[in-house]
Amino acid sequence: MESLDISAGRGGASLAHAFTAIERLSETAVDDLQKMVAVDTSFPPGAGYDAFAYLMEQFAAPLALDCERVVVPEELWRAPGAWGQRTNLIARRRSGRPVLGLYFHVDTVPAAPGWTTDPLQLTRDGDCLIGLGAADMKGSIAAALLALRAAQATGVPLAYDPMLLLCTDEEAGLYPGVRYLAEQGRLEGHVLNFNGSAMPRIWAGCFGLFTLTLSVHGKAAHAGEQRSAGANAIEAALPILNALSALKPVIAQRTSALPPPPQAAGPLAASLDISAIYGGQCGGQIPSDVEILLCRRYAPEEDFAAARREIESAIAQAAGALDVDIILTGHLAPTADPGGPHWSRWQTALSAGFGYAPEEFARWGASGCSDFGWVQQATGLQEVLLTGLGKPDSRIHAPDESTTLADIVALAKSVLAYLSAEFRPELSPEAMTLKKDLA
């Protein structure tokens, strides 16, 4: 495959020099990622956002990015298991150029059992970088910082003013930070979302997701005394669990028209998962409460309210006279087709960074979720560019999550190419509009 020409006449000599600077400065990205991984931003509970915002402010200062913290009011996000201030950070540069929003969620899932390394300490194995959030998505933040650092070092002119959006509660939170920013009118320009893959992909949209916390209440008592003295909440919950298990295959029959990933065995399908169960304390006590976390992924063709009612009806029918509470603890709306006029330039920039050939690009959706469904609803913004560091072997949301330095470097080159004023201006809607106005 012929590599994309970024020399003078196509991308300009300064962009080629900036690509060289990215390679030369690549170890700074490893240092950045190491510091980011060490800050525990796992959600739930989401208690590390303030500390992470402080770290990002330290990274932004040498890059001449002005920082502003935006806190989501507690009454919007408060749910069982969530605590800590919801601090979002906007780090931006203003020069009068069009704005490119660079969106990142700063939260990770909690570290699952099975890690062979310390999940909060970046471990390096050759080119492989292992740590919680390395691929999803702190490594992408490191790549963007590397791109801006190289641009500053070489003086490459930019077509867009970067606006980093470092946001909270994407991992199935009740009120994601970017939703709040969108509803407050804080988003500008168009947005590059890093919650995707390091692959030649054209995003077609994604499913929605909601989580329900189900609490079944019994009565604690000494396990060795008369059984009538207590009510075992765990045993009482068994009919509910059986009803949910019976509902799972029914929901799984519902498929979407979204094009599936190339590696998928079939169409994208809805799902219901019993994700967590908490209850009981010791063998000598009848458990008084059990808490069950349910996760429902729903296709864009489905209705959220109907999907929720279906689950709650199954629970109510199985529960009978049981004392049961059901609380909505997380919700991400589906993302509609995010296509738009900037995608052609972004595909070309991805090719410049990763070396993809045009024919390698494919359009597909995902049963994984994004918080940009809320952005589309709040702003009317349809187009959302997508990228990231996810790959089939990245182990995202699993023990020993990882990315590679090579992919961080490639992503940094893609981001810098897209930002550069010298890179394929004929593919920039803003540049072509300006040219037309001046003609």
Evaluate whether 105 touches 396 at the Cβ level (below 8 Å).
Answer: no
For residue 404, give the H/E element and its range: strand 402-404
- Same domain membership, residue 391 and residue 322: no
Provide the percentage of residues in the chain whose pLDDT is more than 90. 86
User: CB-hemisphere CA count at 13 Å for 417?
Assistant: 29
- Same domain membership, residue 291 and residue 374: no
Neighbours of 346 (CB within 10 A): 22
pLDDT digits (tens, 9 = 90+) for 138-197: 999 999 999 999 999 999 999 999 999 999 999 978 999 999 999 999 999 999 999 999
Last residue of a domain, one of 286, 302, 332: 332
Q: Is the pLDDT of residue 8 over 70?
A: no
What per-residue confidence (pLDDT) applies to 11? 47
- Same domain membership, residue 160 and residue 41: yes
Instruction: Give the relative orientation of helices 26-37 and 139-154 as an angle to the nearest 10 degrees.
Output: 140
- Same domain membership, residue 235 and residue 341: no
- Same domain membership, residue 210 and residue 95: no
Last residue of a domain, one of 311, 332, 353: 332
Residue 2 is assigned to a structural domain of this protein: no
Question: How far apart are the C-alpha atoms of 181 and 163, rounded to whole Å?
Answer: 13
The domain that holds 246 is classified in CATH as 3.30.70.360
Q: Is the pLDDT of residue 10 over 60?
A: no
What per-residue confidence (pLDDT) applies to 9? 39
Would you put residue 332 in left (φ > 0), alpha (ψ -120 to 50) or beta? Answer: beta
- Same domain membership, residue 357 and residue 256: no
Residue 116 is assigned to a structural domain of this protein: yes
> In degrees rounded to 5, what are phi and psi of residue 305?
-60, -40
DSSP for 413-425, please give it. Answer: HHHHHHHBTTS-G
What per-residue confidence (pLDDT) applies to 2? 41
Residue 146 is assigned to a structural domain of this protein: yes
The mean pLDDT value of the chain amounts to 93
Per-residue pLDDT band for 321 (boundaries 50, 70, 90) equals confident
- Same domain membership, residue 306 and residue 341: no
Question: How far apart are the C-alpha atoms of 67 and 89, rounded to whole Å?
Answer: 7
Last residue of a domain, one of 332, 347, 371: 332
Q: Which domain does 18 fall in, by range?
A: 13-205+334-438
Per-residue pLDDT band for 124 (boundaries 50, 70, 90) equals very high
- The total domain count for the chain is 2
Residue 120 is assigned to a structural domain of this protein: yes
The domain that holds 140 is classified in CATH as 3.40.630.10
Residue 1 is assigned to a structural domain of this protein: no
Q: Is the pLDDT of residue 1 over 50?
A: no
Residues with Cβ within 8 Å of 221's Cβ and at least 6 positions away in sequence, in order, are 229, 230, 285, 286
**Residues forming beta bridges with residue 202, ordered by sequence position:** 363
Residue 267 is assigned to a structural domain of this protein: yes
